[in-house]
Amino acid sequence: MNLYVHVPFCVSKCRYCAFHSETGASAEALAAFPRLIGREGALRAPGARPTTLYLGGGTPSSLGPDGLRALAAALPALADGAEFTVELNPADVDAPLAEALRAAGVTRVSLGAQTFDPAALRFLGRRHTVADTLAAASALRHAGFDNVSLDLIAAVPGCCGASFRRSLVQAIALEPRHLSVYALTVEEGTPLAADVRAGRVKMPADDETLDALAEAEAALARAGYARYEISNYALPGFECRHNLAVWHGEDYIGLGPAAASRLGLVRRTNAPDLSAWASALDAGRPPPADEESLSPEDDEHERFVTGFRLAAGVRPNPATATGRARLAVCEKLTSQGLLAALPGGAYALTPRGREVADAVMAEL
């Protein structure tokens, strides 16, 4: 099984962020978190030996070396050869933290570089600097981490074009094994959304955003990275196993406030409420969560559509009525240049299809 832990703490809130996280958590809340995650793991996943473990957030690295050690110790023992990923803010990474991650059995780190343009970092409200990213990459390399992923954000207002191209060059120069490249999106309820609505910020035009993403694909392909998912690139053999499992429709269990789980037909999302989550677990109860059960047909269809995120695509089964209906939609989308027919009967998004992936998936 695959295990995800949402660490709901951040030192400060970025301008564009809609993820659940709290700033200014008390020392007690931070210290209690590993113990409570251990308790939730025992309730939600008794006897589990995860093959992938992903610590995301929020900012897992804000727990510091001791907190991360305690969190790893509170989680179930991993299966042999498991992938253990931790998301890191470059501002938190130094030699002691990198060493603590190694000692805790972390096999893969995801560094939230986002951009190498100081002006873009300031626009985004990130608390790290370009120098922090370079120092973090160096500390991780010295600690022996080979499997490092970098996150990059395209389409930052005022920092498109040459600025983004320079960020790509600097990211590639650090020789990560994996990169995730996202366009900046305006999420409701964020300070960025308020600024856009009030006219204080003008987002780049769609064409500019699509050009940046196409430029990323071309530059990364030249450097040997394959785009194996809409937003994710890897050198051969360095695809993120945890995310691949999720996109392939495998079960996963999420622990922590706001964490989502998929268990067979059941979809569960913990309430995004740190204190309700902690009080329930302190009292020995599972934390509050929304839960829904899908029909086998809806579950199968969700897996079918999600599969289109991957470069390998999806093969409709022509032996069933549903498969034939899907085939007809795939052929229509192929005639529109949004899907491509692959050898063996599978269909995958074309470059144009990736640009409008949400609309393609809605059509499917």
Binding site for ligand SF4 (CB under 6 A): 10, 13-14, 17, 19, 21, 57-59, 89
How many other CB atoms are found less than 10 A from the CB of residue 306?
15
In the bound state with ligand SF4, the residue whose beta carbon lies nearer, of 129 and 306, is 129
Q: Which residue is nearest to ligand SF4 (CB)?
A: 17
How many other CB atoms are found less than 10 A from the CB of residue 131?
10
How many other CB atoms are found less than 10 A from the CB of residue 283?
7
In the bound state with ligand SF4, the residue whose beta carbon lies nearer, of 51 and 180, is 180
The three-point CA angle 358-363-364 to 5° equals 95
Q: How far is CA 270 from the centre of its chain?
A: 18
In the bound state with ligand SF4, the residue whose beta carbon lies nearer, of 69 and 127, is 127
Separation of alpha carbons 150 and 177, rounded Å: 8
Q: How far is CA 348 from the centre of its chain?
A: 21
Closest by Cα among 173, 106, 96, 201 to 145: 106
In the bound state with ligand SF4, the residue whose beta carbon lies nearer, of 57 and 313, is 57
Q: How far is CA 346 from the centre of its chain?
A: 26
Min. distance of Cβ 14 from ligand SF4 in angstroms? Answer: 3
Min. distance of Cβ 279 from ligand SF4 in angstroms? Answer: 23
Min. distance of Cβ 18 from ligand SF4 in angstroms? Answer: 8
In the bound state with ligand SF4, the residue whose beta carbon lies nearer, of 108 and 326, is 108
Min. distance of Cβ 126 from ligand SF4 in angstroms? Answer: 7
Min. distance of Cβ 249 from ligand SF4 in angstroms? Answer: 26
Min. distance of Cβ 127 from ligand SF4 in angstroms? Answer: 8
104 close to 146: Cβ distance less than 8 angstroms: no
Residues paired with 180 in a beta bridge = 151, 232
In the bound state with ligand SF4, the residue whose beta carbon lies nearer, of 20 and 39, is 20
Separation of alpha carbons 74 and 235, rounded Å: 32
